[in-house]
Amino acid sequence: MYDLLLSGGTIITCNNSFDIIEDGIIGIKDNKISLIESKKENINNLPESKEYIELDNEIIIPGLINAHCHAADSLFRGLVENLSLEDWLQEVWKAEKAILNPETTLLGSYLGLAENLLAGVTTVVDMFWYPFETANASLDLGLRLCTGGIFIDFPGVGGRTHEQYLVEASDFCSKFNNSEFIIPAVMPHGSYTVGPEHLQEAKKIASDFKAIFSIHAAETIFEQKDIKSRYGNTVIRHLDKLGLLDEKALLAHCVHLDNGEMDIIKATNSVIAHNPLSNLKLGSGIAPTLDFLEKEINVTLGTDGAISGNDLDMWLTMRLAATLPKGKLMKPDIVTAKDVFQMATINGAKALGKSSEIGSLEIGKQADMVIISTNSLHAVPLFDPLTHLVYSCSKSDVKHVYIAGKQCVKDGSIINFDIENIIKEVRKLKMPTLNSLL
């Protein structure tokens, strides 16, 4: 007896052989997938289940994994425009310092994480000032979240010291070390905002707890020049020399790398979180993703925060990740829809050390599933479900979302949580936020 049985629809498994099952059937029991196959074998005799959902042409995919986000920065969406990263950050930090405290961070986290959830994201990697609040918001929404203590060397939001950041990072890892939904991380902002010793102290905590170590890296040419002038090395060599790179290192952006830096990332099994929209909008550049793939580096996808990319849309992110390299290199056959869909799913799961649990639809894995409607005009006719997902689909096509077998989104709306109340509260922050930059 299954808890839930989905019958019909096309299943994009994202398993090792990238099987696509047409007219499939998925059985869920105890939060996990315990049946996945073609429906034909069961057509006259569906297995017993407490709940049945009959699908009609829909596509079933693994939940998307957003590998780089700042969810609560959704409070500042559209506030700072037309500046390069360095000038932009100065304005962002001014607004953040004026507005953010644990309560507003909680509000912003609900807003940003709910946007992710409605777009079919079931796991978010999030870097922000108050990680306990982000974790609470995520648990309330039923999302999986990778986050943890931030580090920055100047007085940031809340005016905390490095010693306080160390305690917070350690406490966070202790609290969530065995959590089912929270994957602990340590998150120094960048090598240009955190000094070498402090980076190593942060890494020590990550290593002690076997936690993810996530950091912005090689985002702009300015950053590369800055690190070179301070430490005599490029960003990735600097991080490597400090002993920070291994399979737990999740490097956000990596737009400007030389060949040797890519080789270091591959040799250390570090992971890249590619954020094409944010890189474009801040004028940072276009990351060399074809080189990453040719070197067999694990590449994941992120939206970055809504303050840089203005929305948290993994569908747009996928489309840009697939099309930018083709246009840049004038080669239409590189960085395929399959490459990009793997970046948004199983590659993220591998990066988080969770590929035995999430990232694909396979027996024994958690039932993190998204049902994509094919009723829109842009889905007619539909020759290839995979190219449809990457090149035509949008977040409005996300119909149902299940995480660990529990439905969190039904017919395009969040269930089990009052998001309307959050929207009302966030709107009250508009004027104080505008005034913060005067």
Taking the least distance from each CB to Zn ion, the nearer of 64 and 69 is 69
Give Cα 407 to chain centroid, integer Å: 20
Contact region for Zn ion (CB under 5 A) — 56-64, 71-79, 108-116, 297-305? 297-305
Give Cα 209 to chain centroid, integer Å: 21
Task: Please tell me the count of residues contacting Zn ion according to CB under 5 A.
Answer: 1
Contact region for Zn ion (CB under 5 A) — 111-119, 304-312, 320-328, 336-344? 304-312
Among 240, 261, 304, 397, binds Zn ion (CB under 5 A): 304
CB of 147 to Zn ion, least distance (A): 13
Taking the least distance from each CB to Zn ion, the nearer of 115 and 304 is 304
Contact region for Zn ion (CB under 5 A) — 139-147, 279-287, 302-310, 398-406? 302-310
Closest residue to Zn ion, judged by C-beta, is 304
Contact region for Zn ion (CB under 5 A) — 16-24, 38-46, 90-98, 296-304? 296-304
Tokens of 191: 């090598």
Taking the least distance from each CB to Zn ion, the nearer of 253 and 400 is 253
122, 168, 199, 331 from 227: Cα distances, Å: 35, 27, 14, 33
Taking the least distance from each CB to Zn ion, the nearer of 73 and 133 is 73
Tokens of 214: 């996530």
User: Are the C-beta atoms of 225 and 233 separated by less than 8 Å?
Assistant: no
Taking the least distance from each CB to Zn ion, the nearer of 14 and 250 is 250
Count other C-beta atoms under 10 Å from residue 135's C-beta.
Answer: 23
R_g of the chain, CA atoms, integer Å: 21
Question: If we measure between CA atoms, which residue out of 158, 203, 209, 153 comes closest to residue 179?
Answer: 209
Whether a cis peptide bond, with omega within 30° of 0, leads into 188 is no
CB of 69 to Zn ion, least distance (A): 8
Residues 154-193 that bind Zn ion (CB under 5 A): none
Q: Is 73 in the site for Zn ion (CB under 5 A)?
A: no
Alpha helical stretches, state H, 344-388: 346-351, 385-387
- The number of CA neighbours under 13 Å toward the Cβ of 144 is 30
Taking the least distance from each CB to Zn ion, the nearer of 68 and 238 is 68
Taking the least distance from each CB to Zn ion, the nearer of 168 and 304 is 304
Bridge-based pairing of strands 121-126 and 271-274 is: unpaired
CB of 216 to Zn ion, least distance (A): 5
Question: If we measure between CA atoms, which residue out of 134, 143, 227 comes closest to residue 185?
Answer: 134
CB of 340 to Zn ion, least distance (A): 20
DSSP state of 158: G
- Residue ranges in contact with Zn ion by CB under 5 A: 304
